[in-house]
Structure 1
Amino acid sequence: MPNTTAAASPRGFDLTSTAFLIVAFLTGIAGALQTPTLSLFLTNEVHVRPAMVGFFFTGSAIIGILVSQFLAGRSDRQGDRKHLIVFCCLLGVFACILFAWNRSYFVLLFVGVFLSSFGSTANPQMFALAREHADKTGREAVMFSSILRAQVSLAWVIGPPLAYALAMGFGFTVMYLSAAVAFVVCGAMVWMFLPSMRKTPAATARHLEAPRTNRRDALLLFIICTLMWGTNSLYIINMPLFIINELHLPEKLAGMMMGTAAGLEIPTMLIAGYYAKRFGKRFLMRIAVVAGLFFYIGMLTVHTPALLLAMQALNAIYIGILAGIGMLYFQDLMPGQAGAATTLYTNTTRVGWIIAGSLAGVVAEIWSYHAVFWIALAMCVFTSVGLLRIKDV
């Protein structure tokens, strides 16, 4: 009888792990179909000025932080994280439907973004559930999480070029409806295959005391990751308009650049996950920042398609290590709070959007799209200073 149980257990775990991989890919696809083209959507479909495009990203980030922080605390204290992920996917579907047919700036900002904030929260909640599942089953958390992050990057290899192809070839309505389908399939996969892990109040209360000694480092890491994601947000907001309006290069190049970077991020994440224990997370983050410095220097000086594509290797190192190691860094600094730690990390991307949205539109309108990359370079410099003061884990 024990032999039968032992033999059955790996098969069940393999099925669950496969489901996690598929869900990670689908949540990535849902985002990758929407975010890369959002600045073009607002400019060409909603017909707003660059400053209003930046304000939209800022407003959406603020709403996203409020929603995700509320859900993070609740998910760590009570309920079943699996049911929450399904609920977030459902609201993500409604958000995509609204963006597909509505062209009112303020309706999209306040109603559409509110709904899509729930949809985007499905991703960090899935990672929190994966961490809990890995800890419970004894699986090596760093490598498992890195593989899941690689799935999200794989989605971003496919997503941006597909998004531009759908938007330019069939219109933004078809593109957003495609994202809605991704959310539907994702919700179904979560409901059928991911594990349920209900919270026990006593255990949660005991764990919440653990991270107090790491509060300073968690705050410093929040600032570091925020600056890094802020530079990436500046790049995503600004780059398509820079490529098209200032360099007068083909629209599809923007999608190719994003897809190339995402493709190269996959081996970067896996390599970083493999060497995290040997070299430490802080060392890998420092490598990422050096790559980021060279990348944004390149964006300021290189303007030919071949070199712009080649430079995505630096961008991949920069974002690949941040995406693969940053979340694990937070989880190690905040033991027993997988949901709060993962959402705190995810909110660094949203605060990054706030900073980028506030700066990108205004700088582009006053000076140029090219000038925005000077801001990104300065943020990279500040990040390198922050990494000198944080402890390694």
Structure 2
Amino acid sequence: MVAQTDARREAPGDGRLVVAWQAVAPYRPLMALMLVSSTASFAALGVLSLFARDELGASDTMATINFAVVALAGMAVMLTTGRFSDRGGERRVIISASLAWLAAGYAILASVRSYPAMLAVGVVFFCVVGVPNVQLMAYTRDLVERRNDTATSTAVIAAMRIVLSIGSFTGFGVGGLGLAYLGPRPLFRVVSVVCLACLALSWYLLRAGDTIAAATPHPVTGENIGDRGGVRTRPAGGQRLLLILAVVMVLFSSGRIMLLSQLPILMRVSLHAPLQLTGLALALPPLCELVLMPIMAYAAVRWGRGTVFLVGGAASVAYYGGLVVITTPGQLMLLQILYALFGAATVMVGIDLAQRLMVGRAGTATSIYLSHENVAAINGSLVATVSVAALGHQVGFLVPATLCLVALGLSTWAFARHPAAFDLRRRPPPVQRP
């Protein structure tokens, strides 16, 4: 009976597709919480630079330093909270406490009058800005493992990533409107109130989720790597493999800062594209990710998470390499769609892989994995500076292309040595009928 249940979850058949989005329905309240909280955070993030420059007299360099320092502090806090969040019911407390801390930070930020004060507030309060989303992803993983339903972790993580992408779009849009009609200080106060509302909502939803999970027996399913006799075990050397995955993602993501800073220049100077097309090019990858993520989630369960991860990594190599040789705006738009495949495949599936490598420690795994974004932001700034200075704004993309190629080689080697841990498959699992 267990084998039959696993086949239905791990293989498509008779309309019960493994990534049946109806099965994600019980997690929609948590997704709504993530949508609101991420929208609030991105709304404030979008106006920080202008606030620092126009209200506090900071230079562009000082504004950049603020983001770098907060990213370093955020990485330390994310790793620390991730380690403690896997103990008992502390994940719920950390989510609620981080939302309360952010609410206080935004309220204080609305009153600062100097750049040093803004920097201090950022280090002290906004070091937790990534914690709620990380822990919500870990919390949903806990529920998936303990609920006896048809949802898979890959489907739920894909849905959470889609919600996070929507939150970024909505947040930046709300931030622009708030800046135009309210100003930065009132906007920060509004965001503070929204964080308090998220705090109340999180306390209610997470307590209800804990009650349901505690009353639900832990099923033995195909999601449980290495189950033996109903007892779940983690892959040997899972933490070491997770660190390899994080290093790979740092290499894959180190070109993002260069994209933000140099892609508009490339379009205007080398490709002579109009300003309207420049904005569309920047918005195209995250828009395409919304469509590609469900497809990649299905492919990951059908053909293996590791296989889909490597396909996305190969897309990043082709993307950066293509930027070096393109000559028309149309070619760039095609490459932007290709880059969306990297985000939908490698970034999204990597979260699921990380949680599978640290069975029972989803908070630690997600925190370690997503901390690559902080490291990549700092490393990417150095890559962009050196690449542009030495090679120019177009040929300079050869450097991130090389880093991505190294990352693809390292991940291929690691996945081939540990195919079970990284869910590397050559063919889909057989369908078993009851």
Q: TM-score category by the smaller chain?
A: 0.7 to 0.9
Q: Distance in 1 between matches of 2:358 and 2:338?
A: 30
Q: Distance in 2 between matches of 1:48 and 1:67?
A: 26
Give, as a single letter, the amino acid of the residue that structure 2 aligns with 1:105: Y
Matched, 1:109 2:89: no
Q: Distance in 2 between matches of 1:188 and 1:293?
A: 44
Q: Contact 1:160–1:259 at 8 Å: present in 2 too?
A: no
Cα shift readout 1:34-78 (whole Å, capped 9, x = no counterpart)? 445655655666555555454333322210111111211111124
| Consecutive unaligned residues in structure 2, runs of 5 or more | 1-22, 215-230, 416-421, 424-434
Q: CA 1:389–1:273 in structure 2 vs 1: closer, same or farther (change >3 Å)? A: same
> Which residue of 2 is the match for residue 58 of structure 1?
68
When structure 1 is superposed on structure 2, of 171-180 and 243-252 the one drifting more is 243-252
> Which residue of 2 is the match for residue 329 of structure 1?
353
Cα shift readout 1:249-276 (whole Å, capped 9, x = no counterpart)? 8888776545432221122211111111
Q: CA 1:381–1:366 in structure 2 vs 1: closer, same or farther (change >3 Å)? A: closer
Q: CA deviation at 1:153?
A: 1.5
> Which residue of 1 is the match for residue 240 of structure 2?
216
TM-score (norm 1): 0.79
TM-score (norm 2): 0.73
Q: CA deviation at 1:212?
A: 4.8
Query: Any idea what SS the aligned residue of 2:360 has?
Result: coil
Give, as a single letter, the amino acid of the residue that structure 1 aligns with 2:309: M
Q: Distance in 2 between matches of 1:284 and 1:212?
A: 22
Q: Contact 1:93–1:119 at 8 Å: present in 2 too?
A: no
> Which residue of 1 is the match for residue 135 of structure 2?
125
> Which residue of 1 is the match for residue 167 of structure 2?
155
Q: CA deviation at 1:131?
A: 0.5
Larger radius of gyration: 2
Query: Any idea what SS the aligned residue of 1:66 has?
Result: helix
C-alpha RMSD of the superposition: 3.8
When structure 1 is superposed on structure 2, of 175-184 and 223-232 the one drifting more is 175-184
Q: Contact 1:80–1:197 at 8 Å: present in 2 too?
A: no
Q: Contact 1:230–1:355 at 8 Å: present in 2 too?
A: yes
Q: Contact 1:81–1:125 at 8 Å: present in 2 too?
A: yes
Q: Contact 2:53–2:60 at 8 Å: present in 1 too?
A: yes
Which structure's residues are more often helix, by fraction? 1
How do 1:213-362 and structure 2 match up within 5 A? Answer: 213-236=237-260, 256-300=280-324, 311-360=335-384
Query: Any idea what SS the aligned residue of 1:102 has?
Result: coil
Matched, 1:187 2:187: no
Q: Distance in 2 between matches of 1:102 and 1:281?
A: 46
Aligned-pair identity (%): 22
Give, as a single letter, the amino acid of the residue that structure 2 aligns with 1:152: L
Q: Distance in 1 between matches of 2:119 and 2:192?
A: 18
Give, as a single letter, the amino acid of the residue that structure 1 aligns with 2:119: L
Q: CA 1:251–1:52 in structure 2 vs 1: closer, same or farther (change >3 Å)? A: farther
Give, as a single letter, the amino acid of the residue that structure 1 aligns with 2:350: G
Q: Distance in 2 between matches of 1:161 and 1:304?
A: 29
Q: Distance in 2 between matches of 1:168 and 1:192?
A: 34
User: How many residues end up aligned between the 2 structures?
Assistant: 375
Q: CA deviation at 1:311?
A: 3.9
Q: Contact 1:86–1:187 at 8 Å: present in 2 too?
A: yes
Question: Structure 2 residue aligned with 1:96, among 106, 116, 123?
Answer: 106
Q: Contact 1:54–1:360 at 8 Å: present in 2 too?
A: no
